[in-house]
């Protein structure tokens, strides 16, 4: 791939309104933008989506920066990388740190597609011209206004963040406003074994699915709950690798799976998980991380694959931010987002705005 330069840019974007879950409240979204440049000056873009604190996974913005700058970049033989899969193989010798790996690999995938003169979706075998949009609803006093605006844009699936002990209240509040809304809830692993019977009773709400009821890595409790429920269980945090997905399927721990590129260590692993789920007839959807347009563009390409049959956490550029770092902005039209056929991720970078929001930068030049 003739890689010559690697640049990192630590940025922060202010959210339109605070995003609240039972774990945290996010007012400003930090991220690390990865740029990988080849000998001809083509640049691939990736994004490290770790949060400031380890409430979602063990990684944080600070730890990811350290892992990339001090460990991955000095250790990877970039001259031996001819395809993003080569990076995945080299990086696999380091444990964990999936988001750090995914950011570097994402930039390589974008660069690879640009070098081949094709869109990223086409490069990975995507078949769709547009993908269905889904929205995440935070614990907000503006719920009625928020859902109304999203419905007017055609969003087809709504994920409600809930707080333990207040689930019925939150679901009832949504149902009272929009009785037929296609609704799921995201527990972010907040339940324990003693909550099994109570959560199983959520069947009465007619939900599309319940996402990650128990802590990450607990396939046993998820299987036990799925055996008690008609509502499909969907795994999120529990699946950080192909092996995790394989174990979940073999144990019957879920009937659906959320695939996040950054959570599983990159697009290479995400593609393997997609294919595994096809083999076992497990429908999948693409999760989101309140990302910039760079990650959103990667997610759209991933969601263009055939087995992404459920609307993902795919939204427009201005869903959370007043201004994105890509141009043109990603837009939702009648509930769908078009899959770009431009080279790479299909969007240009607003370099002037990126410069404005950059708080720290790092550059590595290959000899």
Catalytically active residues, by annotation = 161, 260
Strand 210-211 and strand 348-349: the pairing is unpaired
Tokens 């996010």 label which residue? 26
Question: What is d(CA 278, CA 357) in angstroms, rounded to the nearest whole number?
Answer: 40
Question: What is d(CA 339, CA 33) in angstroms, rounded to the nearest whole number?
Answer: 22
Token reading at 365: 């030049």
- Burial degree of 62 (CB within 10 A; 0-12, 13-18, 19+): middle
Question: What is d(CA 240, CA 252) in angstroms, rounded to the nearest whole number?
Answer: 17
Is residue 44 a contact partner of residue 107, using CB atoms and an 8 Å limit? yes
Extract long-range pairs of 169-177: CB within 8 Å, 24+ residues apart.
Answer: 170/139, 171/205, 171/207, 173/143, 174/137, 174/143, 174/147, 175/205, 177/143, 177/144, 177/147
């Amino acid at each position: 791939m003739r890689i010559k330069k690697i640049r990192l840019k630590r940025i922060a974007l202010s959210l339109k309104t605070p995003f609240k879950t039972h774990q945290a409240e996010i007012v400003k979204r930090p991220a690390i933008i990865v740029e990988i440049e080849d000998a001809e000056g083509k640049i691939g873009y990736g994004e490290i989506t770790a949060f400031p604190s380890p409430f979602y996974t063990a990684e944080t913005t600070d730890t990811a920066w350290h892992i990339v700058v001090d460990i991955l970049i000095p250790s990877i033989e970039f001259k031996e990388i001819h395809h993003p899969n080569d990076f995945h193989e080299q990086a696999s010798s380091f444990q964990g740190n999936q988001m750090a790996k995914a950011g570097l690999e994402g930039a390589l995938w974008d660069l690879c597609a640009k070098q081949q003169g094709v869109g990223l979706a086409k490069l990975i075998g995507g078949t769709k011209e547009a993908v269905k949009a889904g929205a995440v609803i935070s614990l907000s006093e503006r719920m009625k206004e928020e859902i109304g605006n999203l419905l007017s844009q055609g969003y087809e699936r709504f994920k409600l963040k809930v707080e333990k002990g207040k689930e019925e209240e939150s679901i009832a509040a949504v149902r009272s406003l929009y009785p037929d809304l296609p609704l799921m809830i995201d527990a972010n692993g907040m339940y324990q074994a003693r909550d099994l019977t109570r959560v199983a009773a959520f069947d009465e709400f007619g939900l599309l699915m319940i996402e990650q009821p128990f802590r990450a890595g607990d396939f046993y409790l998820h299987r036990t709950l799925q055996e008690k429920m008609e509502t499909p269980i969907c795994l999120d945090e529990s699946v950080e690798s192909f092996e995790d997905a394989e174990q979940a399927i073999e144990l019957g721990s879920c009937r659906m799976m959320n695939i996040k590129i950054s959570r599983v260590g990159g697009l290479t692993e995400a593609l393997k998980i997609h294919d595994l789920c096809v083999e076992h007839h497990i429908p999948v959807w693409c999760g989101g991380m309140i990302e910039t347009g760079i990650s959103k563009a990667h997610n759209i390409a991933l969601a263009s694959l055939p087995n992404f049959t459920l609307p993902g956490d795919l939204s427009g550029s201005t869903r959370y931010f007043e201004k994105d770092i890509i141009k043109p902005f990603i837009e939702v039209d009648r509930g769908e987002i078009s899959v770009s056929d431009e080279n790479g991720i299909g969007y240009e970078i607003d370099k002037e705005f990126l410069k404005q929001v950059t708080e720290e930068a790092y550059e590595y030049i290959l000899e």
